[in-house]
Amino acid sequence: MKVVVDFDLCESNAVCMEIAPEVFEVRDDDFLYVLEENPGEALHDKVRDAADRCPKQAITLED
């Protein structure tokens, strides 16, 4: 799985970070950072949930 973020859509609202902080982080500069572009299988469910719950649908997942 590869995490892809459309930063033009992303509002850095941190919903994804709340769900999967191992993968997503919104820093003090109010920008989203992907900490783990290719998360391990143990994180796949959390990352899918984060992508599904993104208010702007800015996160997509590639296999």
Q: What is the pLDDT of residues 15-31, one digit of tens each?
A: 999 999 999 999 999 99
Phi, psi of 4 (to 5 degrees): -125, 130
- Can you name the residues that pair with 46 across neighbouring β-strands? none
38/29 Cα distance (integer angstroms): 24
Q: Which of 51, 63, 36 is nearest to 6 (CA)?
A: 51
Return the DSSP state at 35: S
Please, what is the average pLDDT of the chain?
98
What fold characterizes domain 2-62?
Answer: Alpha-Beta Plaits (3.30.70)
Q: Which amino acid is at 39?
A: P
State the chain's maximal CA–CA distance in angstroms: 31
**Where is pLDDT greater, at 6 or 63?**
6
